[in-house]
Each structure stands twice: as C-alpha cells, then as structure tokens.
Amino acid sequence: MLALEALTIETSLPIKNSVIWLHGLGADGHDFAPIVPELHIPNTRFIFPHAPHRPITMNNGYEMRAWYDLFGLKLQNQQDEAGLRVMQKNIGAFIENEVDQGIEEKNIVVAGFSQGGAMALFTALRYPVRLAGVLALSTYVPLKEKLATEASPANKNVPIFMAHGTFDNVITIDTCKISHQLLKNLTYPIEWHEYPMAHSVCKEEIDDISGFLKQAFQAE
C-alpha cells in the first residue's frame, strides 16, 4: 500500500464521527475542504486524502493526482481494475485508522466526487463492517459486473446519497443513471438528487448533503 497524505479538519470536540472524502481527477484533498463549514456537522473529523500522481491514459499519459487510471469515460472503455483494488486497500486503511482512534465503523461515511465518488462506492460497498453511509457525487459505479458477487453483506443496506448535475458533460447523467439503476436492482437504499448544474457542486446539494450526514450519524 501507499502512504497517502491527507488534510484533516475537525469541526468540534469530542470527535464522534468521521467522513473520508475523496477528490476528483487532477484535484487534491484541499478541493472540498471549504465545504466543511457549510455543512454544519458537529463532532466530526473530515479527512481529505490526496491521491497519488500517476499517468492517465485518457489524457495522453499526462501525470496528475488520480485514484486509478482512466482509459475513457464511456461505458465500453477498459477499466483499471488493478488500480481500483490497490486504492481500495488504501482507503480501507483510512477507515481502519479512524477505528483505531475510537470511531466506530457505523459512524464513518465514505464520500467522493467524480473519480473519488467511484472510488468511494467501490470501497464502501465491499467493506466488511457496516458503515454509516456513502456520498457519491457526480459519479458512477466502477466494475459494475463484479459488484453483485463482491458486495459486502454488512453494507447491503448502507444508505447511499447519489447526486448528479443535469448539465454534466464530463460524466453524463445518463451514465450515472445506469449506475443508479444497478444499485436499485441490488436493493441498496439510495437518496437520489438531480441539480441544474455541470460537473460541479451547488449550494442546494451542499444543504442536502448536510441533511444526509446528520441523519446518517444519528442512526444506530
């Protein structure tokens, strides 16, 4: 595994909950840090890991921060299964580190935007202990054909917040809806949102995320 660095923000003490939030392709852990004060979630540690730099095939081998390689954004494009599985272990290590600090798995949410959202879904739905929830923003389910057999029974009913912009031309809403339908078919409880935006985040979405996190952390 890689030793990934991360930005950490604690909202208030004592810390009872954790959110591990994964950025999109080419960004870093600072990308979503400004959202934390807008969420109004007390007693929570937000961890924003920085993905490693790697060459991206889709971008002619240009190196940037990425959780795994991308060969394209169409459904038929090859997927970097090996890269996904390596990062799954690394994100799992962040979860385990929170547990080591006294946060129960049921009080940990894994979140992500775009490629980070795909990584969040890939990791959380396979994690062997029940988590509090998953935030999947402007994203998709990677390795769709393997989820049914690899999904963790412990997280079969984990709440999923799934949101997408209707004007997204990076990962289209139609691509996201295919993933949404897959998760519905597998009977995951999904809170689905659409917003009139591009490949981004908006104020209404932030408010809805806040509501989801408050509910996830209050649930037993």
Tell me the catalytic residues.
Answer: 114, 168, 199
Tell the residue number behind the tokens 């994100």, with chain if given.
91
SS (H, E, C) 69-80: CECCCCCCCCEC
Lay out the sheet containing 160-165: strands in order across. Answer: 6-10, 44-49, 17-22, 108-113, 133-137, 160-165, 190-195
Which amino acid is present at 163?
A
- Contact (CB, 8 A) for 171 and 75: no
Those residues with Cβ within 8 angstroms of residue 130's Cβ, 6 or more apart along the chain or in another chain: 105, 106, 154, 155, 158
d(CA 19, CA 125): 15
For 62, the enclosing helix (H) or strand (E) is: strand 62-65
